[in-house]
Chain A
Amino acid sequence: MGERKDSGVEERPKWDNKAQYLLTCIGFAVGIGNVWRFPYLCQIYGGGAFLIPYLIALVFEGLPLLYLELAIGQRLRMGSVGVWNSISPLIGGVGIASLLVSFLVGVFYNTILAWVLWYFFHSFQEPLPWSTCPLSENRTGYDVECTKSTPVNYFWYRETLNITPDIEISGSLEWGMVICLASAWCIVYICFIKGLDSMGKAVYVTSTFPYLVLTIFLIRALTLPGATDGLEYLFTPDWETLKNPRVWLDAATQIFFSLSVAFGGLISFSSYNEERNNCERDAVLVGVINSATSLYASIPVFSILGFKANTALNACKEKNVLAMTNYFEFSDQNITLENYDYWYNYLNRTFPEDFSSVPLETCDLQKLLKQSVSGTGLAFIVFTEAVIAMPGSQVWAVLFFVMLFSLGLSSMFGNIEGVLSPLNDLKVVPKWMPKELLTAIVCLIAFLVALIFTLNSGNYWVEVFNSYVGSVPLLIIALFEIIGVIYIRGMKTFSEDIYFMTGRKPNIFWKACWMVISPLMLLVVFIAYVVVQAQTHPTYPAWNPDYEKFPENEVKPYPNWVFAIIILLCVVPVISIPLVALYQLICGRTRRSSARVELNPYSNDAFEIETRERTTCRS
């Protein structure tokens, strides 16, 4: 007695309340990408104009997929493997593919959280360690690599990652990073230790805290000088970009990856719901909140980028002021930032030959604003640099990194759930093993695999995983999910499922999306994505201090063995789909083995409904 799934409905974990469920789904969907990917896309694709393809993709691709996953999980009340096995044993491989993708994504995603933790630990110093260069060996100057680039870059590439110039040079384990990685996995473990009980409590904090910090940052950022420059730059719509098909592709992929569908985690989460829950409303809510969060996050991010550009512009002008004052031997403070332009033009006009020999830098605000970055570059380079210039740097740094950590942690919950739940469904776990031990084993294995990313070339590997595991396999899985539910289970059966759960059948919009629009969009996005990727031999930006154009990144092509690994990463998760189908065909089991799965002596559907009526009668 006391086993979990075999005992039927009573033993399946449940949410304490609806808010927990919604917060968990929102936390899973809202991740670090909302903060560091969406604003970047918004900026490079013409600001406000990007919202149009983004919202179209949300309505026609994101929401239907989300609704589908939540509905099927809630109805069939099993994790991803169980759900697909119930629909048809032929597509059971989709669940295994979700399992593998969740595991691989969880492994590298937690490495990013380890980096965030590292920065968090280092934010408790005065001055912040990334604000100054360290001294060189003989103490006569600053470290050469640092002076050529910036202290922030140096801290990220050298002191945090100790990066090698090439992905082939692996270097050794970075011990600081290893212990940060261990901490990150321990924190994930403690949140997941009691399964839903502990995770459900943890999401109250991890899902709501980022919003609090974003609001604080919003208020702070809007009061910084130069914030309006950044916001203007972000939101000025450039309607011409809509003609570029790449914009539509990126909008569709951004929505898709942002909502965290096809990981299997959402299916598991909704399976812990009570059966008659309005999943349509939940899906729309989660999808809309996810997009709204992206928009909301882009405001402080771009205000701070505008502030940073402004600060850099002033620093550039100050240097020029000094150069001019020194050269022309004015008394100090004659030329100031306010009358800079007047003096510049006056001197240029009056003493052109002298003026041209003054070592001046060009100070261009637009050029500074154009230095847009996404991903780790935004968080660990641009933002940390901005934070140095803000008064009270430590507070802002700590807040920022705790926010990133919360965002990432709540997404990790979904990934871990996407691994643990199918393992339970597959019944590969021996009965005697308690769930704490299973979670510990999974975390331990993931930690050991993630040690690859703590090598000196680890950052390059994270990029590989990020670009290839977290993209193509998910699109394939999502495609099979839609086909599986709508065409194999059948639109009619699915409509009745929804009628059973929500009390009304799905309207024409959902049907049209599920049957035609979303699969078509997914197919087009998948093909376009593969075509775009296949057009060029994949390259990666390497940090090479010996490069002649250092501190620019040296763009190197991936060596062949890495290329082979990339292909493996794309193929291995999804190979289970045809393999399982083949296996089932060979074994001759093409019919739904639903009877076997749902058979248990303590629950049958009739009993369930009856007792519910009985309890309602009693209460």
Chain B
Amino acid sequence: MLGPLSELLQHFIIRFLVLGGKCWESCPCSCSVCHFLWRKSSVNQYPWTQNEMFLFRATLAFVMRNHTGGEFGVSDIHVCGETARVSFWFVATWPNTTDLVDQGVVESAVRKMRNRINGAFLLTDQTLEFDGVLPTLAAPVPPDTPPWLIVFGVVMGAVSAGIIILLMYPLVHKKWKKNKKTDDGENEEETRVKTTENGADGIYNMSFSDDERFTKM
């Protein structure tokens, strides 16, 4: 049924199947509730060996111990249906018995200690999947001040400062100049109109300028 298998075992996928019910004796199971987990890609490349399988069973035993308090051992985790994709089914039995642990209990145990399982295999939620056990998503940490407000504050501060400087500078400059020399009514102070200094352009006529000062229109 499967096509040619690749001899490169650099990448693999671990698939766990938590069974409820006794169909673990015949794998692959045809139970109605099955959980698969597919690994999408591998970053950590280590070959999948029986030692890794042992680690998995040990980790699951540790997880079950933490969750239920029972003295689970490696022998209480049963694995079957292993494929080259590295996906398999597993079930847990209570210590010293052959009673299956309820699916819901196993699921909640896995869910709680997911990061420890991930860490044991140097994998992530995306690369190690427990079918049916959705990872609770990490809540993004909201920063105290949204960063965009900071940028906004910087920009607006600069703009406001610029506006105030541009508005105030001519006034201050004029007042300063006016304090240096006395003249009457050259500029009406209320208007705040400043003469634009257009530079050396325009048509300037010497004889005309004296009239300007005294003749008001």
Residues of A within 8 A of B (CB): 1-3, 9-11, 13-14, 118, 120-122, 124-125, 134-135, 139-142, 179-180, 183, 186-187, 189-190, 193-194, 197-198, 322, 325-326, 328-334, 346-347, 350, 431-432, 434, 436, 601-603, 607-608, 611-612
Contacts and interface: CB of A to CB of B under 8 A. Distances in A.
24 contacts: A10-B201, A10-B204, A14-B201, A135-B139, A183-B152, A186-B160, A186-B163, A193-B167, A322-B38, A325-B38, A329-B83, A330-B2, A331-B6, A333-B6, A333-B10, A333-B42, A346-B3, A434-B192, A434-B193, A603-B203, A608-B203, A611-B203, A611-B205, A612-B203
Interface string B158-186: 01101100110000000000000000000
B134 interface: yes
Nearest to A126: B147
A139 B203 contact: no
Contacts of B6: 330-331, 333-334
Contacts of A125: 147-148
A140 B160 CA distance: 44
Contacts, number: 142
B190 interface: yes
B193 A2 contact: yes
A2 B212 CA distance: 10
A10 B166 contact: no
A1 B134 CA distance: 79
Contacts of B2: 328-330
B198 A330 contact: no
Given A1-B212, A193-B163, A436-B167, A326 B187 contact: no
B159 A190 contact: yes
Contacts of A346: 3
Top-8 shortest CB links A-B:
A10-B202, A121-B148, A332-B11, A333-B11, A611-B203, A121-B151, A331-B84, A329-B85
Contact of B137 (A141, A325, A326, A601): A141
B150 to A, nearest CB: 8
Contact of B151 (A124, A142, A189, A350): A124
Nearest to A136: B137
Contacts of B193: 2-3, 432, 434
Contact of B12 (A193, A331, A601): A331
A432 B191 contact: yes
B34 to A, nearest CB: 13
B31 to A, nearest CB: 18
B207 interface: no
B69 interface: no
Given A189-B163, A328-B3, A333-B42, A139 B202 contact: no
Contacts of A608: 203
A612 B136 CA distance: 81
A142 B140 CA distance: 12
A139 B139 contact: yes
A330 B205 contact: no
B59 interface: no
A612 B204 CA distance: 11
Contacts of A434: 191-194
A332 B136 contact: no
Nearest to B151: A121
A10 B136 CA distance: 74
Given A9-B202, A189-B163, A611-B205, A329 B11 contact: no
Given A2-B187, A326-B38, A9 B203 contact: yes
B123 to A, nearest CB: 12
Contacts of B198: 10, 13-14
B85 A330 contact: yes
A11 B167 CA distance: 20
Contacts of B191: 431-432, 434
Contacts of B50: none
A179 B40 contact: no
